Structure 1
Amino acid sequence: MTMEQPAGDLLKRTGLRSTAQRRAVLTALQGHPHSTAADLETRIGADRAEAGGLSRQGLYNVLEDLAKAQLVRCIEPAGSPARYELRVGDNHHHLVCRRCGLIEDVDCSVGAAPCLTPGDDRGFVVDEAEITWWGLCAECRRATVEQ
């Protein structure tokens, strides 16, 4: 979602009703990729009245609706709560820092989805590959060397 595409327009384009709750979640995700539901709840908290009194369960329901409509992508790095981002449909991957939890997007290196193919697809039609690389980010690596 970009500033040129307001949340209400995106919702209408996908056939979802443009509710205050859905608009609030999309707006809270803007500029904050890889947000947890708790992050979103905090970000929306100040505007809870404008968000139609969005409850925690309501937030999860909205996130599920937005993911089904492919307006948000949910990733679930091991040992981390589910994370949500607006970057959808391009089959990108992620780098995750083992120490601080920083998550960075990595473009698909091969080109078109699914980017990678299994050696034996066992009859599946593969349309997406989800890759997570784990390591230490530059800042955590620097901190480790300085210790």
Structure 2
Amino acid sequence: MTTVLPDPSALLRDAGLRITDSRIAVLSALAASPHASADAVFAEVAPALPKASRQSVYNALGDFVDAGLVRRIEPAGQPMLFELRVDDNHHHLICTGCGAVQDVDCAVGAAPCLHPSEDHGFQISSAEVTYWGLCGTCAAPAAA
């Protein structure tokens, strides 16, 4: 699934970040591959930007997370994944077979959409839920 990426230069400028070919390439790679690892993003940008380094991709992703342009998700037992969908409090479905990741809208209403039985004085702004299971492709052989 490809995400429609508004003008990357405008996104960077509005976030107060320097506009570079490397940063534009990283944003474009995330638009083409939502839920990509930093290594996957690097593999995508390296052919077009031979001077790009793995570290520059990690730095750009970190800057984007800090600026609110990108969301970092950290599924247990997997590398960090990055996505451009940041304007809502959505959750994720992760296949325990192949590792595929899909977005799923908030479980109930608007953010935080889930409320703990006890908030211990916290002012809760979001809830992060990860659903684990087999995707349709991985489940098909198991059902047969």
Once the two structures are TM-superposed, the CA of residue 111 in structure 1 deviates from its matched residue by: 2.0
Once the two structures are TM-superposed, the CA of residue 83 in structure 1 deviates from its matched residue by: 0.4
Q: How many residue pairs were aligned? A: 142
Equivalent positions of 1:48-127 (< 5 A) are 48-49=49-50, 53-127=51-125
> Structure 1 length as normaliser, TM-score?
0.91
What is residue 4 of structure 2 aligned with on the other side? 2
Identity of aligned residues (%): 48
Residues 73-110 of structure 1 show CA distances to partners (whole Å, capped at 9, x for unaligned) of 01011111000000002010000110110111000132
Is there any run of 5+ residues in structure 2 with no aligned partner, and where?
A: none
For residues 109 and 121 of structure 1, the distance between their equivalents in structure 2, rounded to whole angstroms, comes to 18
Once the two structures are TM-superposed, the CA of residue 17 in structure 1 deviates from its matched residue by: 1.4
Q: Give yes or no for contact 2:107–2:114 (8 Å, CA) kept in 1.
A: no
Give, as a single letter, the amino acid of the residue that structure 2 aligns with 1:37.
Answer: A
For residues 7 and 52 of structure 2, the distance between their equivalents in structure 1, rounded to whole angstroms, comes to 19
Once the two structures are TM-superposed, the CA of residue 121 in structure 1 deviates from its matched residue by: 0.9
> Structure 2 length as normaliser, TM-score?
0.93
For residues 106 and 95 of structure 1, the distance between their equivalents in structure 2, rounded to whole angstroms, comes to 7
Once the two structures are TM-superposed, the CA of residue 123 in structure 1 deviates from its matched residue by: 1.1
Is there any run of 5+ residues in structure 1 with no aligned partner, and where?
A: none
For residues 60 and 85 of structure 1, the distance between their equivalents in structure 2, rounded to whole angstroms, comes to 14
What is residue 41 of structure 2 aligned with on the other side? 40
For residues 109 and 100 of structure 1, the distance between their equivalents in structure 2, rounded to whole angstroms, comes to 24
Once the two structures are TM-superposed, the CA of residue 31 in structure 1 deviates from its matched residue by: 2.7
For residues 54 and 111 of structure 1, the distance between their equivalents in structure 2, rounded to whole angstroms, comes to 41
Give, as a single letter, the amino acid of the residue that structure 2 aligns with 1:2.
Answer: V
For residues 75 and 36 of structure 1, the distance between their equivalents in structure 2, rounded to whole angstroms, comes to 10
What SS class does the counterpart of residue 17 from structure 2 fall into? coil
Once the two structures are TM-superposed, the CA of residue 145 in structure 1 deviates from its matched residue by: 2.1
For residues 46 and 143 of structure 2, the distance between their equivalents in structure 1, rounded to whole angstroms, comes to 39
- RMSD after superposition: 1.2
For residues 31 and 106 of structure 1, the distance between their equivalents in structure 2, rounded to whole angstroms, comes to 19
For residues 132 and 4 of structure 2, the distance between their equivalents in structure 1, rounded to whole angstroms, comes to 29
What SS class does the counterpart of residue 32 from structure 2 fall into? coil
- Runs of 4+ aligned structure 1 residues displaced above 2 Å come to none
What is residue 134 of structure 2 aligned with on the other side? 136
